[in-house]
Structure formats: C-alpha cells, structure tokens
C-alpha cells in the first residue's frame, strides 16, 4: 500500500476496523500497512476511539505491550437500542399482523437488512463478553438474526435443520415438543458442524414457551457443548409455563385482542422497566 496522508489514513483505518470486529490487530500491522510510526497510528486510533464512543458505534480497546494492539467491539448505546426496539414494537402493533393461531407476521420487518443488522448489534452488545465460539439458530427466520449477531461478534454460524437434510452428512437428531401445540418435532445438526466443548450463543426470532430453544439446548448437550447465552427477538407473553427461563428478549407481545386482531407489544426483558412503565402495569 502506498504511503497515506493523515486524513487518508483515518478513513482507511476506520473502514479497516469496522470490517474486523472482535479481532485483535497489532499496532505493527498498521505501522507496516501505512508505513507510519506507531505513535502516529496511536494518535489516529485515539481520534477514532472517541468518535466511535460519541456516536455509539462501539468501543476501541487498546492493549499495551508486545502482544498488544487494538480491538473494535461493536456496541449500541442502551438508549439507541431502546429507541430502535420501541419503533419495532410500534410496527408490530400495526393492523393485519395477527395470523390464524395467534402467530404474528414479521417477515417484512425481518426482511429489512438494516433492521436485522441493528438487532444483531444489540445482541452483540449484550453478549460481547460471554466468550462464545459460535452462534446457533434453527431454520428459518432466525437465520438472518444469527448472521447479523455473528458478524458483529466475529463468530461462525451453525444452522440447525428441522428435517435431516441430505447436504449435511451424518447428523445428530433430537425430538422436541413445541410448547405451543404440544406436537413432537425433530431437529438435527450435522456431526461436523460443532466441536465438542464449544460455547454456543443461541439466537432465535420468536419464543413462546421455549420448546424450540430447549430443543437446541438438548442438541448442544449431545455435542457436549455449552450454552453461552440465549437471545430472542420477540417473545410471546401468552405462556402458562416457560420451558426456558434463562433468556433475553428484545420485545414482548403482551396481549392479542382476537376480535380486533391487534396486539400490544412492549420492550422485552433486556430493557430495565422505567418507573412510569412499571407503574402502568
């Protein structure tokens, strides 16, 4: 790479860091890449760090010493996530979303890459320190959320299949009972998809009683893998008994009026309830 001016280096450094989240980059890499003194690079990084912090883009961790370097951790300010999810809640409350069986139509919302990316950033903030080795979801709607989360955390994605697909090779299958209709289902994961002892972050788009999440946890046990965390985009409040209790939700369907076909949707358990809100409950 040709020697860059200060201003060019700032642009290049910014894009370089943004495209390599959760990756430790030694200062020498930059010094060589830009043919600049480490002290200049350090000054550049200090500027970037401040802007990233101010703008709620994320943290720039700098580690001193021979093994040192810089690591970009994408993070969303809680206020930003809250405002964003509040907006999603209002979208979910729009007319015509309630389908037969009390399901909610979310394909349009989950079809927007910007929305999916913002949800991923929120999960990546929440699970930044759980030291997961992979993000897992079950097909179909959880897949974009898992990739968005994984790309901010720099982790691979593991997709559990609802049928045993021909293209995964030998696989491990488990049965699970979906909490909503008490029916038996099967999910499977290719043997080579997951190393023993891995720590896995589970992400899904929707949770009622948690049967599907519990299925993924059972599958992880078959692989002697650990659950590093569970994040769901929307949970249903219409649940008698949860099969899974240790999870984080971003939004919660409180109530569905079957006559008007309208739902009341609030923030999920990720967001501490404020005074006004809890008083109104």
Strands 171-177 and 157-160: unpaired
User: Is 107 one of the binding residues for its own copies (CB under 8 A)?
Assistant: yes
Backbone angles phi, psi at 213, to 5 degrees: -65, -45
Sorted by sequence, the CB contacts under 8 Å of residue 260 that are 6+ apart come out as none
Q: Compute CA distances 186 → 95, 106, 212, 216, whole Å.
A: 34, 24, 10, 11
Least gap, CB of 144 to its own copies (angstroms): 5
User: Is 219 one of the binding residues for its own copies (CB under 8 A)?
Assistant: no
Least gap, CB of 136 to its own copies (angstroms): 10
Half-sphere exposure of residue 51, counting CA atoms within 13 Å on the CB side? Answer: 11
Least gap, CB of 40 to its own copies (angstroms): 12
Tell me, residue by residue from 167 to 186, as one string, x for binding to its own copies by CB under 8 A and - for no binding: xxx-----------------
User: Is 105 one of the binding residues for its own copies (CB under 8 A)?
Assistant: yes
Closer to its own copies by CB, 113 or 272: give it: 113
What number of chain residues touch its own copies (CB under 8 A)?
Answer: 58
Sorted by sequence, the CB contacts under 8 Å of residue 178 that are 6+ apart come out as 185, 208, 209, 211, 212
Q: How far apart are CA 55 and CA 39, in angstroms?
A: 25
Least gap, CB of 156 to its own copies (angstroms): 5
Preceding omega of 140 cis (within 30 degrees of 0): yes
User: Is 39 one of the binding residues for its own copies (CB under 8 A)?
Assistant: no
Closer to its own copies by CB, 188 or 271: give it: 188
Tell which one of 27, 34, 41, 52 touches its own copies (CB under 8 A): 52
Stretch that binds its own copies, among 3-11, 215-223, 245-253, 266-274 (CB under 8 A): 3-11
Q: How far apart are CA 200 and CA 154, in angstroms?
A: 13
User: Is 6 one of the binding residues for its own copies (CB under 8 A)?
Assistant: yes
Q: Which of residues 134-163 bind its own copies (CB under 8 A)?
A: 139-141, 143-144, 147-148, 150-151, 154-159, 161
Tell which one of 66, 100, 183, 280 touches its own copies (CB under 8 A): 100
Q: How far apart are CA 107 and CA 203, in angstroms?
A: 17
Sorted by sequence, the CB contacts under 8 Å of residue 135 that are 6+ apart come out as 146, 147, 149, 150, 153, 155, 156, 157, 158, 200, 201, 202, 203
Closest Cα partner for 21 from 113, 119, 110, 125? 125
Q: Which residues bind its own copies (CB under 8 A)?
A: 2, 4, 6-8, 10-12, 14-15, 18, 47-48, 50-52, 54-55, 57, 99-101, 103-108, 111-114, 116-117, 139-141, 143-144, 147-148, 150-151, 154-159, 161, 165-169, 190, 192-193
């Amino acid at each position: 790479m040709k020697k860059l001016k200060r201003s060019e280096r700032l642009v290049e450094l910014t894009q370089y860091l943004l495209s390599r989240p959760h990756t430790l980059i030694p200062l020498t890499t930059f010094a060589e890449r830009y043919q600049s003194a480490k002290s200049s690079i350090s000054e550049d990084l200090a500027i970037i760090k401040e802007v990233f912090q101010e703008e709620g883009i994320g943290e720039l961790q700098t580690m001193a010493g021979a093994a040192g370097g810089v690591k970009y951790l994408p993070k969303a300010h809680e206020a930003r996530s809250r405002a964003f999810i509040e907006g999603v809640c209002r979208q979910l409350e729009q007319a015509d979303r309630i389908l037969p069986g009390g399901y909610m139509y979310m394909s349009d919302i989950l079809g927007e890459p910007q929305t999916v990316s913002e949800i991923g950033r929120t999960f990546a903030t929440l699970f930044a320190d759980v030291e997961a080795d992979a993000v897992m979801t079950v097909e179909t709607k959880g897949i974009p959320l898992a990739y968005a989360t994984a790309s901010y955390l720099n982790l691979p994605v593991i997709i559990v299949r609802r049928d045993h697909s021909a293209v995964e090779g030998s696989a491990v299958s488990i049965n699970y009972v979906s909490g909503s209709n008490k029916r038996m289902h099967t999910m499977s994961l290719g043997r080579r998809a997951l190393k023993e002892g891995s720590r896995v972050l589970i992400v899904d788009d929707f949770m009622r009683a948690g049967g599907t999440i519990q299925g993924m946890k059972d599958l992880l046990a078959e692989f002697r893998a650990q659950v590093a965390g569970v994040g769901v985009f929307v949970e249903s409040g219409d649940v008698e008994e949860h099969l899974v209790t240790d999870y984080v939700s971003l939004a919660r369907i409180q109530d569905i009026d079957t006559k008007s076909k309208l739902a009341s949707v609030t923030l999920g358990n990720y967001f501490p309830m404020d005074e006004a809100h809890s008083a109104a409950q």
